[in-house]
Amino acid sequence: MAREQPTTTVGEEMHALVERLYPLCRSITGDGVRATLEIVGEYVPLRVHEVPTGTQVLDWTVPQEWNIRDAYIADTTGHRVVDFAVSSLHVLGYSVPVSATMHLSELRRHLHTLPDHPSWVPYRTSYYKPEWGFCLAQDTLDALPDGEYEVRIDSTLTDGHLTYAEHIVPGQVADEVIVSCHVCHPSLANDNLAGIAVATFLARALAEETPYYTYRFIYAPGTIGAITWLARNAERIDRVKHGLVLACAGDRGHLTYKRSRRGDAEIDRVLRHVLAASERPHRVTEFTPYGYDERQFCSPGFDLGVGSLTRTPYAGYPEYHTSADNLDFVSPEAMADTLAVCREAFAVLDRNRRCRNLSPYGEPQLGRRGLYDSLGGRSDAKQAQMAMLWVLNLSDGEHSLLDVAERSGLPFDTVADAAGALRGAGLIKA
């Protein structure tokens, strides 16, 4: 398979989107999610869904909506030693409001640091337990003198909505491929903003084509968002034939594909084939029920053929869930490469068919049908000829074109082109 070379331009455009989204304070609910989707909506049209607090979604309940305006820790001079305005990571996600003055010894119980990386700020949350807290660098904490501090978190936790959005790229058939990314993390460039950017530009690229499948892009908060989507779409879930969860899509590590729960779903085989054929350094790992939202789509009641594509996987790099996962940590080239792999994979998925040989008794005469002559200008004429023979031989209604490519060792594109020529000559049908 010819490897599509990523362009710096599209990578820079994706990085610019990440840069716009980076300052926003996102969580599993709230105005940060809405602001994020509003920006993404400038790139692709979105249908935004608002699901009320208290709605039962499978075994879960949509929680109260959290919003925050300001938060800080100030010393006796009024100087903010920790300031939410500087970074949204400084506040424990879903912190209940607080306004108090307390001694540092009491305040410490509500402070989160990373002693092994003393200059980094950790990302921490408390979604389903009423709590408040601040995240800060260990160096900052070590420099604080004993004494009284003003503590202020101007937040609200009230009945509201959970927000998620969808973008549809219509296909030739109603069968769907879902592409999911999470929109619930605050200022973390690789996890989750690079995934949002790659998904968005993948949607734009597919919209310029005429795909076979219908592609549904889901922008939702992690876990509760995917569960909500599944609960609201249970009656039409049989349309979902394939899927991919995108995350950690912009770091400089090698690509990693995590198989679906099935392990042999078509998307698993396609990604394995594309990554191997491209000769990119990569890993293919087995499914585990821990990670991103592939674990929701692959829960046993749904058992969808949904895998996960990352570069360095979650928790696989020191910067994960810290302030070091910043704009410098993600690169335009890495995001462009991730996008290119997605496009290559979906090009295979869209063209992969099972065919039936309409002249199965003996090898049909290709020369009198002009099929050999049509190869005259091809640099890979011998490969193309072999591809025709392989397609004819394995077109028994049981083998797909990907089966042919894997068994023959020929590039998928060459096999798919051969199948197209044979269909045009009336020798096979899908």
Are 186 and 269 in the same domain? yes
Rounded Cα–Cα distance for residues 34 and 26 (Å): 9
For residue 219, the tally of other CB atoms under 10 A from its CB is 27
User: pTM for the whole thing?
Assistant: 0.94
What is the pLDDT at residue 172? 96
The CATH number for 376's domain is 1.10.10.10
Residue 24 has pLDDT above 70, yes or no: yes
Q: Which residues span the domain enclosing 100?
A: 71-157
Mean pLDDT of the chain: 95
314, pLDDT greater than 70: yes
CA–CA gap between residue 427 and residue 371 (Å, rounded)? 11
Name the least confident of 11-15, 324-328, 415-419. 415-419
Give ∠ CA 307-308-314 in degrees, rounded to 5: 145
* Domain contains 2: no
- Does 238 share its domain with 386? no
Number of domains in the chain: 3
CATH number of the domain bearing residue 316 = 3.40.630.10
Shared-domain flag, residues 400 and 258:
no
pLDDT for res 378: 59
Q: How far apart are the first and last CA of the chain?
A: 22
Cα–Cα dist 294/226, whole Å = 9
Q: pLDDT by residue (tens digit) across 256-312? A: 999 999 999 999 999 999 999 999 999 999 999 999 999 999 999 999 999 999 999
| pLDDT for position 370 | 81
Q: What is the DSSP string of 318-338?
A: TTTTBTTSSTTTS-HHHHHHH
Q: Alpha helix locations (H) across 189-248?
A: 195-207, 224-232
CATH number of the domain enclosing 75:
3.50.30.90
Query: Average pLDDT of 175-203?
Result: 97
pLDDT of residue 1: 43
Give yes or no: residues 150 and 218 share one domain.
no
Lookup result for tokens 């269909």: 423
pLDDT score of 144 more than 60:
yes
Which of 351, 370, 404 is the last residue in one of the domains?
Answer: 351
Domain assignment of residue 98, yes or no:
yes
In this structure, of 57-61, 164-168, 215-219, 423-427, the range with the lowest mean pLDDT score is 423-427
Residue 181: name the closest of 243, 233, 128 by CA: 243
Residue 406 has pLDDT above 50, yes or no: yes
Last residue within a domain, chosen from 157, 180, 209:
157
Residue that is written with structure tokens 């023959």 in the block:
408
The distance from CA 349 to its chain's CA centroid, rounded to whole angstroms, is: 17
Tell me: do 173 and 254 sit in the same domain.
Answer: yes
* Domain-embedded: residue 3: no
Q: Of 255 and 380, which is predicted with more confidence?
A: 255
184, 26 contact by CB (below 8 A): yes
Q: Quick check: 30 and 65 in contact, CB under 8 A?
A: yes
Q: Strand 98-103 vs strand 176-182: parallel, antiparallel, or unpaired? A: unpaired
275: Cβ contacts below 8 Å, ≥ 6 apart: 255, 257, 282, 284, 341
**Pairing relationship of beta strands 255-258 and 134-135 according to DSSP bridges:** unpaired
